[in-house]
Amino acid sequence: MEIIIIILAFIIATLTGLFSKKRSVIEFFSVAASLIAFVESVIAALKVSFHGAYSSTVFFSVDSLGAIVMLIIGFIGLAVTIYSIQYLRKETDKNVIGFKRVKQYFILLNLFLLAMFLAITASSPIFAWICIEATTLSTAFLISFYNKPSSMEAAWKYLIINSVGLLLAFFGTLLYFTSVSQSGGTGLVSWQLLLANVSHLDPLLAKIAFIFALIGYGTKVGFAPMHTWLPDAHSKAPAPVSALLSGVLLNVALVIVLKFKVITDACVGSDFSQNLLIAFGLLSILIASLIIFNQKNYKRLIAYSSIENMGVMALGFGFGGLGIFAAILHMIYNALTKSALFLSAGTIFLKYSSTKIAKVKGALTALPVTSILFLIGFFIITGTPPSGIFLTKVYILTAGFKSHPVISIVALLLMVILFVGFLKHVVAMVFGEKPETVKTGEESIWLIIPPVVLIAVVLCLSFFIPPFLYNLIKDATLHY
């Protein structure tokens, strides 16, 4: 029932955006839809926590990990929608965009959020694939929102690379379906049906299928070397969209990979999929750590941090055991912190009218609250103690030292390198002399509240995890 209500809420908000000629009405319905989606996500998460996975209809099902990601989508989606209102008003005041663009933004934003909810709750792999493809189509127009040549290039790059990746993922999905055809099954092919018929799946075919699924959906996750679209897309999209792309969408795609991992492990054992995840995870951390030193754009800087953190999660799921528990917890921390960082970056952009690091100096003077949030977000995302990400990285590396000590040591060194590179750029932005042309003072309280709430929740969760959330993480650890 919760999924149906979420669908209806976003459909109504989208239709309002299409037909309404009043900006305030469009904004109200968009926030209302996001609020309803968040409340329904909490209800669904509580149900799963206390009563286990359930299916509201034949088309939708929610398990423990799905419930966690629903909470992430709902909470960050609400924060981003609220932030977007004031962000776009500031852009309108500067004559950067007009009312038509604002309508387009909220229509696509609502469709994007809806597609992610559908992808994470879809009971069919094919339906999940369609919804992931829908996120690509809706966000491509958001990436090219400003109609600049660089934005258009980033959007086309994003569209082509992800479409090719999803085509490979679709082929891998069809290979999994051979187990159902051999067993004589008919009707809707669900994740549960594929798992039930895993004995009919040829082990070699299962390995080939997982490779296609991992590379295909891994493109969407941002694993290296399929990551090339990510820094461009995240740096050119409006800051609120970047927050959703980096903080939410990557996790949705990762969960789809993990669903295929469960099926593959049941057929050929866990070593095959775990080794692949470890390889892609380490490569992603390596690429991000080395490239981050030469970054000249602070939004690309945060984007490369996303690649590193998805790599850390891949290592956790690859190491298994404690690593899986830590990876799921890391997913939550990273989503909230990365979104807060992008929202803070958006406020910095509004003040300095540039995303170049060289042009942002003295941010602590010009935007004291936003700069402090940006600094806190930096320390959290790089795993500085006593943040929650520090603990999750320690747990993941601890799990790795038991079976892959060399890989764990290399990963640790790369994380230190990334911290130094990130710190160098952040210090250059926050401190120093403020340009005389830049006025002092925050842009708006409504540009501060969303990232403040996100950072506050991360800090709270670093020291206390609500029992229902802990149950979800523990149950997901057992199943993935």
HEC-encoded secondary structure of the chain: CHHHHHHHHHHHHHHHHHHCCCHHHHHHHHHHHHHHHHHHHHHHHHHHHHHCCEEEECCEEECHHHHHHHHHHHHHHHHHHHHHHHHHHHHHHCCCCCHHHHHHHHHHHHHHHHHHHHHHHECCHHHHHHHHHHHHHHHHHHHCCCCCHHHHHHHHHHHHHHHHHHHHHHHHHHHHCHHHHHHCCCCCCCHHHHHHCHHHCCHHHHHHHHHHHHHHHHHHHCCCCCCCHHHHHHHHCCHHHHHHHHHHHHHHHHHHHHHHHHHHHHHHCCHHHHHHHHHHHHHHHHHHHHHHHHCCEHHHHHHHHHHHHHHHHHHHHHHCCHHHHHHHHHHHHHHHHHHHHHHHHHHHHHHHCCCEHHHCCCHHHHCHHHHHHHHHHHHHHCCCCCCHHHHHHHHHHHHHHHHCHHHHHHHHHHHHHHHHHHHHHHHHHHCCCCCCCCCCCCCCHHHCHHHHHHHHHHHHHHHCCCHHHHHHHHHHHHHC
59/51 Cα distance (integer angstroms): 20
Say how many domains are in the chain.
Answer: 1
From 134, 136, 131, 128, select the one nearest 188 (Cα to Cα). 128
Q: What is the C-alpha separation between 44 and 42, in angstroms, rounded?
A: 5
What is d(CA 118, CA 436) in angstroms, rounded to the nearest whole number? 48
8 Å CB contact between 122 and 131: yes
Q: Return the pLDDT at 90.
A: 93
Q: Which domain holds residue 78?
A: 2-479
pLDDT in the model for residue 183 = 54
Q: Are 190 and 123 in contact (CB under 8 A)?
A: yes
What distance lies between CA 277 and its chain's CA centroid? Answer: 18
Q: In sequence order, what are the residues at sequence separation of 6 or more whose Cβ sits closer than 8 angstroms to the Cβ of residue 61? A: 53, 54, 55, 121, 123, 190, 191, 192
Write the single-letter amino acid at 309: N
pLDDT score at 455: 97
Q: What is the rounded CA–CA span in Å between residue 169 and residue 209? A: 8
φ, ψ (nearest 5 deg) of residue 61? -150, 150
Q: How far apart are CA 433 and CA 422, in angstroms?
A: 20
Q: pLDDT 10s digit of each residue in the chain, 480 long? A: 789 999 999 999 999 999 999 999 999 999 999 999 999 999 999 999 999 888 877 889 999 999 999 999 999 999 999 999 999 999 999 888 889 999 999 999 999 999 999 999 999 999 999 999 999 999 999 999 988 898 999 999 999 999 999 999 999 999 999 888 655 555 688 999 999 889 889 999 999 999 999 999 999 999 999 999 999 998 899 999 999 999 999 999 999 999 999 999 999 999 999 999 999 999 999 999 999 988 899 999 999 999 999 999 999 999 998 999 999 999 999 999 999 999 999 999 999 988 999 999 999 999 999 999 999 999 999 999 889 999 999 999 999 998 899 999 999 999 999 999 999 999 999 988 888 888 888 888 999 999 999 999 999 999 999 999 999 999 999 988
Single pTM value for the model: 0.96
